Amino acid sequence: MDSFELNKILGAILGTCLVLLVTSFTAGAIFTPVMPQKPGLEIAVKEETAGGAAKEAAPPSEPIEKLLQTASVEKGEAAAKKCQACHTFEKNGPNRVGPNLYGVVGDKKGEGRGFNFSAAMKAKGGTWTDQDLNQFIANPKAFVPGTAMGFAGITKDSERADVIAYLHKLADSPVPLPTAAK
Ligand code: HEC
């Protein structure tokens, strides 16, 4: 074998290598695999809250100050029939399953009224503002988890406002309703 023939063989091998290299490069450039950012499948599972009790109340949609502008004391008094199974509203009225509610607006939560409030209500603290009453009447168990008030709540915004306007009237010196400025 002379050196010329050896050169041809080596050249052929080299050439083949070159072709393979170029092919693999171009193939790589064309068919770049798209790698997922996160490996694995994503499976969306809704988390269940333990117990499934006390559904979180949807936050009252309209501010109560605004709702009270158009609230009706008369309608509130009628709607408050729902409460009368457990509450009386007149001054010095007796406690039933729940406390008498005369003068409750602005009064301390879970105090006085000669009523044995639940630990949850006693611990809540603060006074009964329109905002708090609104949330409590919408969904008692969501606002005061562990409350003894076994009432599902009034879901209708305007009806709650009516009841709160009625509660405002039940006092020796009623707390005035918020003004439109708010
Ligand atoms: C099934 C009986 C029941 C019904 C119906 C009910 N309540 Fe009550 N309510 C209670 C009990 C019991 C408490 C005391 C809660 C506690 O101690 O956790 C309470 C407490 C309250 C308090 C807090 C009083 C305070 O001094 O802290 C307010 C305000 C109130 N209820 C308003 C209402 C209104 C308004 C309605 C009607 C829309 C209503 N409740 C319907 C049983 C009831």
Q: Is 105 in the pocket of ligand 1 (CB under 6 A)?
A: no
CA distances from 60 to 11, 15, 37, 78, 127 (A): 84, 78, 40, 21, 19
Percentage of residues of the chain with pLDDT beyond 90: 63
* Angstrom distance (rounded) from CA 20 to CA 39: 31
* pLDDT-based confidence at residue 24 (cuts at 50, 70, 90): confident
Q: Is 85 in the pocket of ligand 1 (CB under 6 A)?
A: yes
Q: Which of 41, 54, 43 is nearest to 143 (CA)?
A: 54
Q: Is 86 in the pocket of ligand 1 (CB under 6 A)?
A: yes
* Angstrom distance (rounded) from CA 109 to CA 85: 20
Query: How big is the CA angle at 43 (ends 41 and 45), to the nearest 5 degrees?
Result: 165
What is the chain's mean pLDDT, rounded? 88
Q: What pLDDT score does 30 carry?
A: 81
* Closest ligand 1 atom, residue 118 Cα: 17
Residue 135 near residue 147 (C-beta atoms within 8 A): no
* pLDDT-based confidence at residue 37 (cuts at 50, 70, 90): confident
Q: What pLDDT score does 99 carry?
A: 98
Is residue 140 classed exposed, middle or buried when 0-12, 13-18 and 19+ CB atoms within 10 A define those classes?
A: buried
Backbone angles phi, psi at 178, to 5 degrees: -60, 150
Q: Is 119 in the pocket of ligand 1 (CB under 6 A)?
A: no
Q: Measure 9 CA to ligand 1 centroid, in angstroms.
A: 100
Q: Is 103 in the pocket of ligand 1 (CB under 6 A)?
A: no
CA distances from 31 to 25, 38, 128, 168 (A): 10, 20, 68, 74
Q: What pLDDT score does 59 carry?
A: 59
Question: Which residue has tokens 């562990």?
Answer: 146
Q: Is 152 in the pocket of ligand 1 (CB under 6 A)?
A: no
Is residue 115 classed exposed, middle or buried when 0-12, 13-18 and 19+ CB atoms within 10 A define those classes?
A: middle
Q: Measure 96 CA to ligand 1 centroid, in angstroms.
A: 10
Q: Is 118 in the pocket of ligand 1 (CB under 6 A)?
A: yes
Q: What pLDDT score does 149 carry?
A: 97
